[in-house]
Amino acid sequence: MTFHFSRRQLIGTACAAAAVAGLPGAALALNEGKARGMVDQLVAEINKVIDSGKSETAMYRDFERIFQAYSDTSYIAAYAMGADGRRASPAQKRSFTEAFTGYISRKYGKRFREFIGGRLEVKEVRKIKNFLEVRTTAFLRGETPFEVAFHVSDRTGKELFFNIYIEGVNMLLTERTEIGSMLDKRKGNIDQLIVDLRSAG
């Protein structure tokens, strides 16, 4: 079987490991107890929203607030933009990060809405390279439990997650592919991508 890769896919694959390995200061001073405590709080907030009975729109607002409070949004957005970030102006990078945060909050908020009637439980913490992985288990009604893992660093000076694996699906790599595809469809127009991201997800 022969596989064909685009130039963007090859660049993304080559940069993926280097970008994660390049998290400055990650896990050097990172405390497992603090990382677990952060994810405990994050999970408690997610469970609270799941059980709130709020409307879909209100839930997405809550998930965006949670995402902004507990994730390294600047790193995630920069990773998603990939090599295209080199040609973006500072203003475009700021606007992209803002629009992308809303987009990804809605996208993953929809996934977490599937947990209504279920719950997340923190299970264990382990060191991987230069960051910590906090593993949780999702218990949904009528379904087999599955793993949701949060990758945590203290790059910014506080414990924040920079990646999520849901049933083995890598958020960082998925979003880099998605954003790259969206940019290609817009012939590389970053401003148009930012506009469209504000209503996507």
Give domain limits for the chain: 7-197
Rg of the chain over all Cα atoms, to the nearest angstrom: 17
Q: Average pLDDT, stretch 58-79?
A: 90
Distance CA 171, CA 21 (A): 16
pTM of the predicted model, to two decimals?
0.80
* Minimum mean pLDDT range among 27-41, 92-106, 160-174: 27-41
Mean pLDDT for the chain?
83
Q: What are the distances in angstroms from CA 26 to CA 55, 71, 72, 153, 157?
A: 37, 14, 12, 5, 9
Greater confidence, 42 or 5?
A: 42
- Which fold does the domain 7-197 belong to in CATH? Nuclear Transport Factor 2; Chain: A, (3.10.450)
Angle, nearest 10°, between helix axes 73-81 and 171-185?
50
Per-residue pLDDT band for 187 (boundaries 50, 70, 90) equals very high
As beta bridge partners, residue 161 has: 71, 152
Q: Which of 140, 110, 105, 139 is nearest to 122 (CA)?
A: 139
pLDDT on residue 17: 44
Q: What are the distances in angstroms from CA 172 to CA 13, 24, 41, 142?
A: 12, 17, 22, 29
* pLDDT over 50 (residue 20): no
Q: What are the distances in angstroms from CA 177 to CA 37, 82, 183?
A: 31, 9, 10
pLDDT on residue 93: 95
* pLDDT over 50 (residue 137): yes
Alpha-helical runs (H) found in 82-121: 90-113
Q: Average pLDDT, stretch 156-176?
A: 92
Q: Report yes or no: 101 and 73 within 8 Å, Cβ to Cβ.
A: yes
Label residue 3 exposed, middle or buried (CB < 10 Å: 0-12, 13-18, 19+): exposed
